[in-house]
Structure 1
């Protein structure tokens, strides 16, 4: 996993290469292993900070391709092997999975990017002035951009942009590519419908998830699992632990919480059952408050729910980064299999549940995926999300609403639980959902702390900041300290999609 920076300018000035280098320096935490940069012709500059996961010896970027193509990419291409077989005319020069994205682009143009399976954001260019920027269909990997004085700047995080450009920064939309000639073009939707065999859907759900987890273990380094003790991360850990045992190794798992938090207890039970090499991070109020500024600056948001879960995630990523360079997480399962209570309370009409699930899957890039990426990358750790693999999303979103409604006992995600019967202890398989901020104990520490320290008058005086609570006001102030000129809740692009 990495951090990328690029700029394209029809009339570049002498200050732009230095601007690119300064932007790259601001996100060095995303790729502490090595840094690369290069001009491409006289209109483009590409920069890359690398966290080495695949192709350790020869995966430095910018990657070079035929006809002068050069590319920087942040991500993992999980169908790299299949793409290499289909691109036999292309002479691959490295073992980097990212090179298959460059090969696809160089041979078939940006129209072919929908063939990539994985999480990625890229910028590529040629010396004669061609330029392409693109982002995966769900926005699992971040990309931001801004246009100023005829120059378009790109970076993996908002904090990379010069302060004078920050008011212009917007999220590059998922599933789109951009060229100077064609503008912004959509190549893939977040959710693509497909026909599902109504027979034995639990078996098919299990098969598609097992296949995804195995592909997400692709790496030249050891991969661990974030284990909260909830259903989603426990399913991922169960599949990964079985694969590691087949290799004659023990999977490393990591959990976090306050001393008596339910997540820590549940994670221990799962780890014992699976026989993993388990590690814990325990935090208290003082430690949680102490990292809030760093967490808000990293997540680049002040949404209270997001920060409340990002704080324990910070300690978790810090712990895991001391043992592995990549982890699998359970992100996305709730949005695919209707894990949140409000889905069932507010969307009971036929078809309404699916519409809401499609909507929330499409918003993940600005919420949980943003938190997941930033907190892990702040510690030089790659987070992978097997539930959000294209095949899993397509399968899950094609299941009928009846499969995802609450079971007779009112437990959510009954279909997913039944699909993995026997893989986990019954107490975990049917454990009711707790959101991460609650299960880890962070909510019980943070919310009362800020309620005591922010007055009603102070909250009323700051309503124009779009904050909804005293806790959120505290995070908003930290957000302003870190990103003084970024537009709040900047998740929409200013550029029209063709």
Structure 2
């Protein structure tokens, strides 16, 4: 939902408007800006909630406070109840953030449950910017001597400012008076190291129900939309579970559920997604990806995700083709991101290094906290490249708490215990048995993107590991070459999620 730009200090309004224009793709429905003292707020809107009245910058009834936000506040109805409906003038979920901050100041951030990056100025001209705990929604900043700039994407910044750009840390807020402050943790603080499982791989219905109920609630909370919502259906376990819950919700509310799958002709993902869609009775769409499609989408994908990591690029190409098609039919989609990190779905989790339960638990916590550098960046950029919002129910705060409270022994593989067995058992009967027991495939592999990209990659000149850039293989060198062409000599640091000139 949308893109934001903000500036505080010695503001150059023309520069700010240029920054906003560079992320117009994130919000094609409307543009707004406000200057208040030495603060400038800009917004590109993707209209999802209260299409008619939810324009931004949003202001309170007396016109003394202003807010721009990117994302969704899933508990906005509860906030309305707590603060009183008399304060609210629209049905927009972002208005809940505006009034929470107006009433409580920075402490109001604790009320917000959802994915967001926001900038707020109060009646005294005090400025605050904040990002959600996991960094589901992107935010970058550049701190110059006389002004601090914020934007939803790296490309928004002027080339002269890009060497200064950093990823704004998730779970933090910043103000001139208080500086950078952590207001929430990616992993809920009340999670304790999981107790030992007496019988690893054996669980009762109570545990299965807690997992199932938390995920069902998270999906249903993310079905809110005034303009239609769909599901990206890869044919894997995680997206199939999301689709199954969404399909039940859609039936109860007498609304259609579009599902979207992409892959090369004959790919395993297309076939599996078709099985799920027929089982659930969804309004299913397939995009058959050719080598020519992949080659044409490759530079667009590298530019969109602002990265050249091979695994990200391989999955970004089909994601981008899927988003281009789906965006003409819905404004928001649900995806299965996060399940592998919470329930140990990747094969490397089960290698020797993480054979110890405590080591596995620590690695799961680490990778969940680092998602904003990689998969969430790809998920956000490929959908927002076509003005469509992606929602990630597995990364709901309650789901994270439940999943990381499970004894790690229950997530380890062994004789008769496949990866994510607990998650599979929790949703037995919800999806076809063949999908429930389908083995893990990376999206770039299952969709066929890895194969169809091979020819495109061979045609791109390789770049030697010069200029201080470590390139791990010919594939990454090819993607880096595209990166250099598309992003004007700016490269991401793979581990820190920061950006620097080459």
**Does 2:380 match 1:384?**
no
Name 1:3's counterpart in structure 2: 3
**Does 2:474 match 1:470?**
yes
Name 1:183's counterpart in structure 2: 179
Tell me if the contact between 1:170 and 1:491 (Cα under 8 Å) persists in the aligned partners: no
Q: Distance in 1 between matches of 2:446 and 2:45?
A: 33
Quote how far apart the aligned CAs of 1:350 are.
2.7
Tell me if the contact between 1:170 and 1:492 (Cα under 8 Å) persists in the aligned partners: no
Report 1:117-266 matches (<5 A): 117-126=113-122, 128-192=124-188, 193-194=190-191, 200-266=206-272
Q: Distance in 2 between matches of 1:453 and 1:483?
A: 20
Quote how far apart the aligned CAs of 1:317 are.
0.6
- 174-183 or 477-486, larger mean C-alpha shift: 477-486
Name 2:38's counterpart in structure 1: 43
**Does 2:59 match 1:55?**
no
Q: Distance in 1 between matches of 2:35 and 2:494?
A: 29
**Does 2:77 match 1:73?**
no
Tell me if the contact between 1:252 and 1:277 (Cα under 8 Å) persists in the aligned partners: yes
User: Over residues 29-48 of structure 1, what are the superposed CA-to-partner deviations in whole Å (9 max), with x where a residue is unaligned?
Assistant: 000011111102x2100000
Q: Distance in 2 between matches of 1:208 and 1:141?
A: 22
**Does 2:318 match 1:297?**
no
**Does 2:110 match 1:114?**
yes
Q: Distance in 1 between matches of 2:442 and 2:465?
A: 31
User: Over residues 265-309 of structure 1, what are the superposed CA-to-partner deviations in whole Å (9 max), with x where a residue is unaligned?
Assistant: 000000010011100111111211111111111111111110110
Tell me if the contact between 2:116 and 2:137 (Cα under 8 Å) persists in the aligned partners: yes
Q: Distance in 2 between matches of 1:353 and 1:245?
A: 39
**Distance change in 2, residues 1:245/1:89 (3 Å):** closer
Query: What SS does the corresponding residue of 1:68 show, helix, strand or coil?
Result: coil
Quote how far apart the aligned CAs of 1:140 are.
0.3
Quote how far apart the aligned CAs of 1:485 are.
4.4
Q: Distance in 1 between matches of 2:483 and 2:116?
A: 26
**Distance change in 2, residues 1:127/1:322 (3 Å):** same
User: Over residues 88-123 of structure 1, what are the superposed CA-to-partner deviations in whole Å (9 max), with x where a residue is unaligned?
Assistant: 286112111011111111111213312211110001
User: Over residues 189-240 of structure 1, what are the superposed CA-to-partner deviations in whole Å (9 max), with x where a residue is unaligned?
Assistant: 1111437898621111001111111110011121100001100000000011
Name 2:490's counterpart in structure 1: 486
**Distance change in 2, residues 1:84/1:238 (3 Å):** same
Q: Distance in 2 between matches of 1:92 and 1:266?
A: 45
Runs of 5+ consecutive residues of structure 1 not aligned to the other structure? none
**Distance change in 2, residues 1:416/1:493 (3 Å):** closer
Q: Distance in 2 between matches of 1:104 and 1:384?
A: 23
**Does 2:344 match 1:349?**
no
Q: Distance in 1 between matches of 2:494 and 2:150?
A: 15
Tell me if the contact between 1:135 and 1:174 (Cα under 8 Å) persists in the aligned partners: yes
Give the aligned length.
486
With the length of structure 1 as denominator, give the TM-score of the two structures: 0.94
Report 1:317-328 matches (<5 A): 317-328=323-334
Tell me if the contact between 1:339 and 1:412 (Cα under 8 Å) persists in the aligned partners: yes
Query: What SS does the corresponding residue of 1:380 show, helix, strand or coil?
Result: coil
User: Over residues 349-408 of structure 1, what are the superposed CA-to-partner deviations in whole Å (9 max), with x where a residue is unaligned?
Assistant: 131111001100111001000000000000111110010111111111111102211253
Runs of 5+ consecutive residues of structure 2 not aligned to the other structure? 196-202
Q: Distance in 2 between matches of 1:394 and 1:462?
A: 44
Tell me if the contact between 1:123 and 1:134 (Cα under 8 Å) persists in the aligned partners: yes
**Does 2:38 match 1:31?**
no
